[in-house]
Structure 1
Amino acid sequence: MKYISTRGQVPPVSFSTAIAQGLAPDGGLYLPATLPDLAPFLKDWESFSYAQLCEAFMAVFATDIDRAELKSIVERSYTKFDHADIAPIQKLSDDLFVLELFHGPTLAFKDFALQFLGNLYEAQIARTGNPISVLGATSGDTGAAAIHGLLGKTGVKTFILYPDGRVSPLQERQMTCTGADNVFPLAIKGSFDDAQAAMKTVFEDHAFAAEVGLSAVNSINLARILAQCVYYLSAFFRLPAEIREDVTFVVPTGNFGNVLAGWLVQRMGVPIKGFRVATNQNDILHRLFQTGIYQLDEVAPSLAPSMDIQVASNFERFLYYAEGCDSAKVREVISTFKQTGKYVFEDFKSDGISSSRTNDAEIGAIIKRVYEQYGYIADPHTACGFTGDFDGPQLVLSTAHPAKFPDTIVDAIGQESTHPSLETLKAREIVKHAVEPTPAAIKAFMRAH
């Protein structure tokens, strides 16, 4: 299978090349040249374990990787999860379910993709002998998951940009208390959007990318999206058979990568009814789906910091398909938005996705209500998924363990949520590096380390 850029100005590449580059040379994001039809496989796949399902799904896309090697990569990727089902579903009522995506080593949904990507990179280095420098930007969970996915990987240096003071204390400790000498947490002044913009500019310097062996861990990397597709398949199979095709998947959303994975699975023939994008008060996506206007606003720090994002990178992939695979239209939208901070769609195609918005006051009230009604503790991001009136059965994706946000949980329900792995972090030393959020400063730091 070949992979193309959303902007259509570079030749198709192999899976391994798309993953190694992360961002296409024309600035676009990689996608499969054609989306496969998964419908013929669903009956056989329904009985698979999570690892078997991941291997079968990824084999459709990673056609230039030996199947035995792929099997080994997948099997190693899910050994550190603390639940036998990997992505279990909790039933709160006959028409309300929660998909728990926080049983990985950093207690966030990012572990599903980044444990896989870390092993994929390790296999790539073993094949080629070429070391890599991984650069990422995080609003909270990606950084920790990337670091833990790459810990101990020979030939890998990991550089993670994050907005200083705008991630939770425990999220910061997960990034800065590893003690690993190949990990460099880079604290910047500003927002996640500032970090992500600087990171993308670094990737656009092709000479520098070649010099340091630059690779990506953010969801601009297609491997992230494909690995996340698997838990949508798994969830669909685990839902009660009599209602599974009537269930709306509700996805707490910041950078659009999570819900995009599910939407792609639907486009590949899995009969998921639809999706709801659940935003916090940083609601550029909610405003887009309600009005057809994609307009930048200031990032407002919130109780759900991993969603404190205004520029949603993966919207570009959605746009490519929603606009009929029209690369020229994608280039027009992205260029106009970059120059003016706004794009008005004459006929925006939401394509089966609805949206909701939750502010900080509502987040606390929802955590309290869900706990009192169901005895279930939702983290602040997951709480956004419980907003609004439900039309039919719902599956809310729980994207992080509530113990990562202790102050918010205590304020909402008057008691703590804890996890042993987080308790051990509190005694460790924080090691971080202050870096200006400019491409020049980031490249200088990477060259020096």
Structure 2
Amino acid sequence: MRFISTRGQTAPHSFSDAVAVGLAPDGGLFVPETLPAFDAGALARFEALKNDYAGLCFEFLRHFATDIPADTLRAIIQKSYTRFDAPDIAPLRKLDDRLHVLELFHGPTLAFKDFALQLLGNLYEHQCAVRGESINVLGATSGDTGSAAIHGLLGKPGTAIFILYPDGRTSPLQERQMACTGAENVFALAIDGTFDDAQAALKDVFGDQSFRARHHLSAVNSINLARILAQCVYYLSAWLRLPPDARAGAEFVVPTGNFGNVLAGWMLQKMGVPLRGFKVATNQNDILHRLFTTGEYRVTGVRPSLAPSMDIQVSSNFERFLYYSLGRDAARVREVMRTFKAAGRYVFENFNRDTFSASRCDDAEIPGIIRRVYEKYGYIVDPHTACALKDPDPGRPSVVLATASPAKFPDTIREAVGVEPRHPSLEALKARPLDKHKIEATPDAIKAFIAARAA
């Protein structure tokens, strides 16, 4: 299989090359040249693997990673899911007859990003060994992506990782997961500003093709297609484990900031897996809620919130949805993205919402939702997952994606329910010194830092 850019001005890439590059040279995002169509036979093969997460992941990814020998790919995938503390990797917890929670926080950094970034780290390690080249990974984070990316690459030979994050706008424990590793190949870069400032600077750095090639620079954000494909698997796993009478009608409710998490489920649906639909659950930084309710994609200021991983306005992965919604018309994608970048706004006439709906949750509502869920079910959710539990639809089954452990947000949980959740890995971080680098969110400052420390 080959991978092409949403903007249509990059030659097709193999899977490994698309992973290594991350962001397409023309500024677009890689997508499969054609999406596989999973028929009844493929769904039956998936069904047989519903209790074998790594096996299911291999059966799915082998349709995309066609340039990696099957035995090698299987070994990479097996290795990627050895650091999860739940036997079934992604437990599907039933709260009542209509409501399930898909727990995606049992990986090494206690967030859903581990599903893709453990795999991506091992893919990078494989590429370094096969190609005899080093790789320098650059990412931006509003919270969980950075720590998960770092823990996917800790100490791996031939790699260095540079993560930009908004200083003071992640939770203290999220910051400690990035800046207390002690690994020599890890650099936590704290900027003044927002995640959107960090992401904009990152894209400008990747736009310098000479610098990018010289330092073998790769993107670790969900602009990297491997992230999206890996995340498709937990939707597939959850759908297969639902009761048969719930599968056809179940809606997946997804806390969403950069649109990558929910896009993965939607792409799986387009491949033929009959997922009914998706609710985009935003916090008070609600660009996606406004888009899916009004058809207007417009940037406003980012307001720090109790759900910091969703404190985003410009959602990178929306471009992939746009590409498919516009009939794979790359010229039209370029036009829309050019207009949006210039004006900070784009209004879609007759906007195609497909199978999406949306909801919005203010900070003032989050503690009350956490309290309500705890009192009704004896179950504690983190602030991001709380946004997805604001208004569960009583008329049909729902699968809420629990994206992070409540232990990462102890202050909010303690305020809501009087209980402070703890996790041993987080407790161990509290005594370690922070090792972070203050840096301006400018392409020149970032490139200078990378050049001085690149692998």
Do they fold alike, i.e. is TM over 0.5? yes
In structure 1, which of residues 342, 345, 349 is the aligned counterpart of residue 345 of structure 2? 342
The aligned residue for residue 38 of structure 2 is 38
The aligned residue for residue 21 of structure 1 is 21
CA deviation map 1:375-394 (0-9, x unaligned): 11010000001112514110
User: Partners of 2:422 and 2:251 in 1: how far apart?
Assistant: 30
Confirm whether residue 429 of structure 1 aligns to residue 429 of structure 2.
no
Deviation at 1:296, TM superposition (A): 0.4
Confirm whether residue 175 of structure 1 aligns to residue 178 of structure 2.
yes
CA deviation map 1:18-50 (0-9, x unaligned): 111101111000000010012331112112100
Deviation at 1:328, TM superposition (A): 1.4
The aligned residue for residue 86 of structure 2 is 83
- Tell me the amino acid that sits aligned with residue 421 of structure 1: S
SS at match of 1:310: coil
The residue correspondences of 1:122-201 to structure 2 (distance < 5 A) are 122-201=125-204
Say if 2:282 and 2:289, in contact at 8 Å, map to a contact too: yes
In structure 2, which of residues 116, 120, 130 is the aligned counterpart of residue 117 of structure 1? 120
User: Partners of 2:383 and 2:48 in 1: how far apart?
Assistant: 33
SS at match of 1:60: coil
Deviation at 1:10, TM superposition (A): 1.6
User: Partners of 1:271 and 1:349 in 2: how far apart?
Assistant: 19
User: Partners of 2:344 and 2:269 in 1: how far apart?
Assistant: 30
User: Partners of 2:408 and 2:247 in 1: how far apart?
Assistant: 31
SS at match of 1:251: strand
CA deviation map 1:41-96 (0-9, x unaligned): 11121121000011111100000011011011001000000000000011000000
- Tell me the amino acid that sits aligned with residue 36 of structure 2: P
The aligned residue for residue 202 of structure 1 is 205
The aligned residue for residue 414 of structure 2 is 410
User: Partners of 1:340 and 1:445 in 2: how far apart?
Assistant: 31
Confirm whether residue 442 of structure 1 aligns to residue 446 of structure 2.
yes
User: Partners of 2:160 and 2:392 in 1: how far apart?
Assistant: 46
Deviation at 1:9, TM superposition (A): 1.2
- Tell me the amino acid that sits aligned with residue 207 of structure 2: E
TM-score (norm 1): 0.99
Deviation at 1:17, TM superposition (A): 1.0
Instruction: Extract unaligned runs of 5+ from structure 1.
Output: none
User: Partners of 2:169 and 2:190 in 1: how far apart?
Assistant: 10
SS at match of 1:61: coil
Confirm whether residue 59 of structure 1 aligns to residue 70 of structure 2.
no
CA RMSD of superposed structures (Å): 0.7
- Tell me the amino acid that sits aligned with residue 58 of structure 2: E
Identical positions, percent:
67
User: Partners of 1:60 and 1:138 in 2: how far apart?
Assistant: 29
User: Partners of 1:66 and 1:372 in 2: how far apart?
Assistant: 50
Deviation at 1:237, TM superposition (A): 0.6
User: Partners of 2:350 and 2:316 in 1: how far apart?
Assistant: 21
Say if 2:392 and 2:398, in contact at 8 Å, map to a contact too: no
User: Partners of 1:151 and 1:46 in 2: how far apart?
Assistant: 34
Aligned residues: 449
CA deviation map 1:132-165 (0-9, x unaligned): 1000000000000000000121100000000000
- Tell me the amino acid that sits aligned with residue 47 of structure 1: A
Confirm whether residue 253 of structure 1 aligns to residue 256 of structure 2.
yes
Confirm whether residue 214 of structure 1 aligns to residue 220 of structure 2.
no
The aligned residue for residue 368 of structure 1 is 371
SS at match of 1:242: helix
- Tell me the amino acid that sits aligned with residue 247 of structure 1: A
User: Partners of 1:413 and 1:213 in 2: how far apart?
Assistant: 48
- Tell me the amino acid that sits aligned with residue 413 of structure 1: V
User: Partners of 2:446 and 2:126 in 1: how far apart?
Assistant: 27
SS at match of 1:166: coil
Q: Which moved more, 1:425-434 or 1:42-51?
A: 42-51
